[in-house]
Amino acid sequence: MTHILLIDDDEVLLRTLRINLNARGYQVHAAADAATGLAAAGRQPPDLVIVDLGLPDLDGLRVVESLRGWTGVPIIVLSARHDEGTKVAALDVGADDYVTKPFGMNEFLARVRAALRRVTPTAEAPVITTAAFVVDLSAKRVTGSSGEIRLTPTEWHLLEALARHPDRLVGHRELLREVWGPQYESETNYLRVHLANLRRKLEPDPTRPRYLITEPGLGYRFVP
């Protein structure tokens, strides 16, 4: 059973989310503050974490940052903050998705399914070798000269979407649909943030990309 950890101090929202997630077969653990949530994640590593930014004891961004220190589990941020700066900051510290309150339950559940799909094992797939790193699409693993390169689930899915079509231009909308779903077709800031993170981890010189190429106004290209 898929285990979801909810970290939010809104009791009504927690109860609503728990009921809806349980009804769809998910096992749910709820925590009303950051300390309890982080402790719960350590005791029983979840398959997905959903965290509010406005927690009583610690900003949700710090919770995401703390989780990213030891796990690649998908993380969805919930927040009443709609400004782009906060969204980018959440993605930059490792969140996979950002849902603004209030939200529709159907949309929320679709985002949960999309986040979990990004960590579903892929069937037979090739290994792509570059001069700087190796991408094993079957094992969902990237290795460099110093060993395995740790990617978040969203970073991996983005790299996978590009690496499966080497040398081909993949448009913004196609990438957004592939990685986040059709409702994200205008969220180009998601691509910008996660591509920058991927380049920092994979490119010998992130300021002069060799493998993850931007086609201005069009999309991106993976050149092995």
pLDDT in tens, 52-70: 999 999 999 999 999 998 9
Query: Would you list the domain boundaries of the chain?
Result: 3-117, 127-222
**Is the pLDDT assigned to residue 161 strictly greater than 60?**
yes
d(CA 224, CA 220): 13
User: Could you give the maximum distance between any two Cα atoms of the chain, in Å?
Assistant: 52
Question: Whole-prediction pTM value?
Answer: 0.77
CATH 2.40.10.230 fits 127-222, yes or no: no
**Is the pLDDT assigned to residue 159 strictly greater than 60?**
yes
**Is the pLDDT assigned to residue 182 strictly greater than 90?**
no
pLDDT at residue 77, rounded to an integer: 96
- Mean per-residue pLDDT, 213-218: 91
Question: Reading across the β-sheet that carries 3-7, which strands appear in turn?
Answer: 27-31, 3-7, 48-52, 75-79, 97-100
**Is the pLDDT assigned to residue 184 strictly greater than 90?**
no
pLDDT at residue 100, rounded to an integer: 92
pLDDT at residue 117, rounded to an integer: 82
pLDDT at residue 186, rounded to an integer: 86
Percent of the chain scoring above 70 in pLDDT = 97
pLDDT at residue 141, rounded to an integer: 93
**Is the pLDDT assigned to residue 90 strictly greater than 70?**
yes
The single-letter code of the amino acid at 171 is G
pLDDT at residue 121, rounded to an integer: 56
d(CA 154, CA 94): 9
d(CA 156, CA 142): 9
Q: What is the CATH number of domain 3-117?
A: 3.40.50.2300
128 and 224 Cβ atoms separated by less than 8 Å: yes
**Is the pLDDT assigned to residue 122 strictly greater than 60?**
no
